[in-house]
Amino acid sequence: MPIVSLRPLLEASNKYKFAHGGFNVNAISQAEAVIGVHEMFRSAAILQAADLANGFMGGRKDFFNSTLEDKKIGAKRIADAIRKIGENSPIPIVIHLDHGKDFDSVKAAIDSGFSSVMIDGSHLPYEENVELTREVVKYAHARGVSVEGELGVLAGVEDHVFSENSTYTNPMKVCDFFKKTGVDCLAISYGTMHGPSKGKDVKLRKEIAIASMENLKHEGIFGALVSHGSSTVPQYIVEEINQLGGNIQNAFGIDINELRSVIPHGIGKINVDTDIRMAVTRNVREYFINNKDKQNSEAISEIWKLMNDKKEAFDPRYYLTPIMDTLVTGVEPNQDISDISNCIRKGVQEVVGSLIVNFGSVGYASKVEQVSLEQMIERYKKM
């Protein structure tokens, strides 16, 4: 099945009132597993790579210093891999850029084969955000590629995105933003937060979503809302990591019931990254503890060492750098490295599977219209 833009998924989620998960990928095995679980549950899949994650996929261990060239290599690599894995898949698949930071990064992703992009101008003054987003929409829609914007600022850390304080999205401005920019969907700030420490018992300001959607409806404008920073941080996984020698403190996510309660109010896409990292970390720790001889394996002992040097680490991009080649190419040269790759796959299956069920996208793959990017070009012209 061909790669599609995000637009037909958003139309389906708006119509049937469910949400698609947007799942971040930083390794080829992770992409395989995300697609596999979505096939199992007959749900369309959104695989997303953050701007700097493309630097990592480009081979930069110190991905925070990635150049545009690194990102281009990485973006092409992950997009090609997803196309190949999804070639004969029965479900629609979206390759989405998460938190594109400027026009050049977005252009690099589109030129590399991404079918959807986010441009995050939320740190800019309103009019500049509109201007940048409009420029991106023009380039993207002319290629059949969908665009996600952001309005309002989320607190927390996510790759290069860091903000100490949040500013809730003003629903009065949402409609104006859709109208002026032509975006397909918009990330709003309504109480979620990037990173693993969102605080206990976070309540989401769902009235922001309700008011935004109501305004759009009155104006006859199509739009879907996106919930960033929405990991649930399952407490059983945190406990298991700590029982296995890790040290994760004060990690709390958004309660799954709280998330479920906002979905009917126009939240069509929910981004999750931290949960996958946590499950993978638990699996890798468990593997080394259950297979003590592997702690001295030539191929992977360095991973175990890194994990123990930094017990609070849960980002696989930190401790899996000794098998960097496998992460970015998918080639598994020996059994020990395959075992670690399976830890990644199983972590994805556990977390993504349960979220697909909770977000309600099970079985909706067939309700997502199969519109090629070429057909989308024509549709966007008429909008």
Summarize as ranges the residues that interact with Zn ion (CB under 5 A).
Answer: 228
Q: CA–CA separation, 166 vs 122, rounded Å?
A: 11
Query: What is the nearest approach in angstroms of Zn ion to the Cβ of residue 132?
Result: 17
Query: What is the nearest approach in angstroms of Zn ion to the Cβ of residue 98?
Result: 6
Among 98, 273, 275, 336, the active-site one is 98
Question: Do the beta carbons of residue 228 and residue 192 sit within 8 Å?
Answer: yes
Query: What is the nearest approach in angstroms of Zn ion to the Cβ of residue 228?
Result: 3
Question: Do the beta carbons of residue 115 and residue 148 sit within 8 Å?
Answer: no
Is the Cβ of residue 99 or residue 285 nearer to Zn ion in the bound state?
A: 99
Q: E-assigned strands of the chain?
A: 20-24, 45-50, 93-100, 116-119, 146-151, 156-158, 161-163, 185-188, 224-227, 267-272
Given phi > 0 = left and psi -120 to 50 = alpha, else beta, which region is 202? beta
Q: Active site includes 315? A: no
CA torsion, ordered 194, 197, 203, 204, to nearest 10 deg = 0
Q: CA–CA separation, 33 vs 12, rounded Å?
A: 23
Query: What is the nearest approach in angstroms of Zn ion to the Cβ of residue 230?
Result: 9
Could you tell me which of 311, 253, 284 has the C-alpha nearest to residue 30? 284
Taking CB atoms, the residue at the shortest distance from Zn ion is 228
Is the Cβ of residue 272 or residue 307 nearer to Zn ion in the bound state?
A: 272
Question: Do the beta carbons of residue 180 and residue 223 sit within 8 Å?
Answer: no
* Sign of torsion over alpha carbons 320, 324, 330, 336: negative
Is the Cβ of residue 24 or residue 297 nearer to Zn ion in the bound state?
A: 24
How many residues comprise the chain? Answer: 383
Is the Cβ of residue 209 or residue 299 nearer to Zn ion in the bound state?
A: 209
Is the Cβ of residue 152 or residue 322 nearer to Zn ion in the bound state?
A: 152
Catalytic residues: 98
